[in-house]
Amino acid sequence: MTLLVHPGDRLRELRHRLGITTREVEELSRRIAEDRENEEFSISNAWLTQLENKDSVPSIYKLFSLSVIYRAKFVDLLSIFGVELEDTVRYHSTLPLHNTHLASIEVSDRDRAIRFPVRFDRGFQVETTSLISRMVEVWGEVPIALIQKLDVRNCQYGFIGMQDRTMDPLLRPGSFVQIDSHRKRVAVSGWRTELDRPIYFVELREGYACSWCEARDSNLTLIPHPLSGCALRQFAYPTEAEIIGQVTAVAMRLVAAGNGHADELPKSIVRS
């Protein structure tokens, strides 16, 4: 039988390890509140005593003060109260939106792993960029240190909406794409097959789109895959449509969500 540890007990343990009293915490937090010019950062002796002994939940301001005073990572204190920041990406993939949109990967702690839409095979080498196009194993966990070396903080990512079939079957609904924001000029030639033709992520007035593009004069035409069944769309450029960048890689399901056993993760592939 597993005994659940009360959050207050965890906080009291952290305080005892440092050998400080609740009144010392009060004094230190007051200095933080004065520096921030916000009383929400202040922690009273009575409030901390209640937090340690009852089912109370601190505000983000007081939790910040505790993380500073206890020399603890903010993300670890959130975890004490059942908030796991590394689960955000997992929920992004399990709670998909219908429309195409930009996406982000939260890197809260480089020492942890997060749920990420790809798991690279064992032969993947960060230093050798050509190997990024290897077949991946499953959607799963990737160490934060590896993700940071892939420059996740500076790259942009997009999610192809579950109802967006513009580039299907080349990019299926639910695909996760990497966007190079330095490549905004629409290419007019230079490709031999549809796999080589540049795909662009475009911001519209009421959402986003991901497709082949053709720019002429002051118009931008979004060209769908011929098998998608979608129609051409044309916008005034750049007033009604702005190119965010070129899609350079994609993590895509090879099996539709919901197929197979409930405990199986879908196979995926990365293209660069």
Distance, C-alpha 231 to centroid of its chain: 31
181 and 246 Cβ atoms separated by less than 8 Å: no
Tell me whether residue 176 is exposed, middle or buried, using C-beta atoms within 10 angstroms of its C-beta: 0 to 12, 13 to 18, 19 or more.
buried
Domain residue spans in the chain?
7-80, 88-271
265 and 138 Cβ atoms separated by less than 8 Å: yes
Q: Which CATH number fits domain 7-80: 1.10.1740.10, 1.10.260.40, 3.40.1440.10, 1.10.10.350?
A: 1.10.260.40
- The residue assigned the tokens 């050798």 is 128
Report how far residue 89's alpha carbon sits from residue 109's, in angstroms, rounded to the nearest whole number: 14
Per-residue pLDDT of the chain (272 residues; tens, 9 = 90+): 334 678 999 999 999 988 999 999 999 999 999 999 999 999 999 999 999 998 889 999 999 999 999 999 999 999 999 998 877 767 776 787 888 887 765 555 555 544 444 444 444 443 322 223 333 333 444 444 444 445 555 568 888 888 999 999 999 998 888 888 889 999 999 999 999 999 999 999 888 999 999 999 899 999 999 999 999 999 999 999 999 999 988 878 776 655 444 333 334 444 44
